[in-house]
Chain A
Amino acid sequence: MSYFSDIYNGIKTLLTGMSVTGKYFLHSQKGAITQQYPDNRDTLKMFERFRGEVVMPHDENNEHRCTGCQKCELACPNGTIEIIWDRQVDPETGKKKKMIEKHIYHLGMCTMCGLCVEACPTDAIKWAQNYENSVYDRTTLTRVLNKPGSKLMAGVED
Chain B
Amino acid sequence: MNLSLSITKNIHDWLFSMMPETVASLTEMTLIATVYLAVFAVTGLFLVLLERKVAAWFQLRLGPNRVGPWGLLQTMADALKLVSKELTGTVNADKFLYNLAPYFVIITALMALAVLPFSGEFQAFDINIGIFFLIAISSIGVIGILLAGWSSNNKFALIGAMRSGVQTISYELSVGLSLLTVILITGTLQLSEIVEVQRNGWLIVQGHIPAMFAFMIYMISGTAETNRAPFDLVEAESELGAGFHTEYSGMKFAYFFLAEFINMFIIASIATTIFFGAWLSPFGITESLPWLGVFWFLGKTLVLVFLMMWFRWTFPRLRIDQLLTLEWKYLLPLNLMNIVLMAIIVWLNLTIQF
Residues of A at the B interface (CB closer than 8 Å) are 7, 14, 17-18, 20-22, 24-25, 27-29, 31-34, 36
Q: A25-B57, A34-B62 are in contact. List 20 more A-B contacts (CB 8 A).
A: A7-B334, A14-B315, A17-B315, A18-B310, A18-B311, A18-B314, A21-B58, A21-B314, A24-B57, A24-B59, A24-B60, A25-B54, A28-B57, A28-B60, A29-B57, A31-B60, A32-B60, A32-B62, A34-B61, A36-B62
Whether a CB of chain A sits under 8 angstroms from the CB of B347 is no
CB nearest neighbor in B for A30? B60
1/0 contact trace for B306-326 toward A, CB 8 Å? 000011011100000000000
CB nearest neighbor in B for A15? B314
A34 to B313, CA, bound (A): 18
In the bound complex, do residue B62 and residue A17 qualify as a contact, i.e. CB atoms below 8 Å apart?
Answer: no
Interface of A is mostly: helix
In whole Å, how far is B302's beta carbon from the nearest beta carbon of chain A?
15
A31 to B61, CA, bound (A): 8
Chain B residues near A25 (CB-CB < 8 A) = 54, 57-58, 310
A121 to B28, CA, bound (A): 86
A30 to B32, CA, bound (A): 44
Whether a CB of chain A sits under 8 angstroms from the CB of B77 is no
Query: With A7-B330, A18-B310, A22-B310 given, is the CB distance from A33 to B315 under 8 Å?
Result: no
Query: With A7-B330, A28-B56 given, is the CB distance from A17 to B61 under 8 Å?
Result: no
In the bound complex, do residue B314 and residue A17 qualify as a contact, i.e. CB atoms below 8 Å apart?
Answer: yes
A21 to B54, CA, bound (A): 11
A7 to B220, CA, bound (A): 14
Chain B residues near A31 (CB-CB < 8 A) = 60
In the bound complex, do residue A33 and residue B60 qualify as a contact, i.e. CB atoms below 8 Å apart?
Answer: yes
Chain B residues near A36 (CB-CB < 8 A) = 62
Q: Tell which of A17, A21, A36 has the most Cβ of chain B within 10 Å.
A: A21
Chain A residues near B56 (CB-CB < 8 A) = 28
In whole Å, how far is A44's beta carbon from the nearest beta carbon of chain B?
15
CB nearest neighbor in A for B57? A28
Chain A residues near B59 (CB-CB < 8 A) = 24
Q: List 18 A-B contacts (CB under 8 A).
A: A7-B330, A14-B315, A17-B315, A18-B314, A20-B314, A21-B58, A22-B310, A24-B58, A24-B59, A24-B60, A28-B57, A28-B60, A28-B61, A32-B60, A32-B62, A33-B60, A34-B62, A36-B62
CB nearest neighbor in B for A33? B60
In the bound complex, do residue A21 and residue B62 qualify as a contact, i.e. CB atoms below 8 Å apart?
Answer: no
CB nearest neighbor in A for B334? A7
Chain B residues near A28 (CB-CB < 8 A) = 56-58, 60-61
Chain A residues near B334 (CB-CB < 8 A) = 7
A20 to B315, CA, bound (A): 11
In whole Å, how far is A10's beta carbon from the nearest beta carbon of chain B?
8
A14 to B311, CA, bound (A): 9
In whole Å, how far is A22's beta carbon from the nearest beta carbon of chain B?
7
Chain A residues near B58 (CB-CB < 8 A) = 21, 24-25, 28
Chain A residues near B61 (CB-CB < 8 A) = 28, 32-34
